């Protein structure tokens, strides 16, 4: 199948947004080397997602490909990331999700390696960036799941917890997954989460 089957305007806008998001994430150091992946749900339910192996801060239009809702490439020869299934899982679970971001920051990598099955954020004003949060006087739980190269098995571990994830989740020693109704919302939530994780890491240094 060829990309020409997609509405050109919608597909082009999605590619532009993915490229811009990659550049922004790169500026903050959240997608080193070839790490991370970015996707947008298209109007027909298919996804525009970053191609496997590319640097997200240096994406061109050829660095974004189309897959269907199950992660199957729509153009012969295209190779999506193995983690595409985790994007598909989020879209399938949340009909309002319009964009998914996955980054590999220092803070998420280090904090998740310290043990535990979640990070609990408490008392931060920036917590209000997450859905359903209206005050700093609340706790936000960010689940941590052990890394697994078998993505289908990992998605099965994540699935029962998706309902309670207002701030996304962390794969241990790997990075975060965050999503939102559109790219702007997803980026705001990613930036909020990464700010809070950086604060937690800095606080632990001075305790």
Residue ranges for the known binding site for Zn(2+) are 102, 104
Residue 151 CA to residue 157 CA, distance in Å, equals 10
CA distance 179 to 167: 8
The answer to whether 3 touches 67, Cβ cutoff 8 Å, is: no
DSSP per position, 95-160: TT--EEEEE--HHHHHHHTT--SEEEEES-GGGGGSTT---SSSEEEEEEE---S-HHHHHHHHGG
User: Which residues fall in the annotated binding site?
Assistant: 102, 104
Burial classification of residue 33, based on how many CB atoms lie within 10 Å of its CB (0-12 exposed, 13-18 middle, 19 or more buried): exposed
Nearest to 30 by CA among 156, 142, 148, 186: 186
């Amino acid at each position: 199948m060829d990309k020409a089957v997609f509405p050109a305007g919608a597909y082009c806008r999605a590619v532009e947004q993915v490229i811009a998001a990659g550049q922004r994430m790169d500026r903050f150091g959240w997608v080193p080397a070839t790490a991370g992946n970015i996707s947008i749900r298209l109007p027909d339910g298919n996804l525009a997602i970053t191609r496997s192996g590319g640097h997200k801060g240096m994406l061109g239009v050829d660095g974004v490909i189309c897959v269907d809702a199950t992660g199957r490439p729509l153009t012969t020869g295209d190779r999506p990331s193995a983690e595409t299934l985790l994007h598909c899982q989020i879209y399938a679970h949340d009909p309002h999700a319009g964009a998914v971001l996955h980054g590999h920051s220092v803070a998420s990598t280090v904090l998740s390696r310290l043990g535990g099955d979640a990070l609990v954020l408490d008392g931060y004003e920036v917590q209000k960036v997450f859905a359903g949060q209206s005050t700093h006087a609340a706790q936000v739980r960010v689940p941590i799941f052990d890394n697994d190269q078998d993505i289908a098995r990992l998605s099965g571990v994540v699935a029962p917890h998706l309902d309670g994830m207002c701030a996304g989740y962390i794969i241990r020693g790997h990075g975060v997954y965050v999503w939102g109704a559109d790219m702007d919302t997803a980026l705001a939530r990613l930036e909020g989460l990464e700010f809070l994780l950086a604060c937690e890491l800095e606080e632990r240094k001075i305790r």
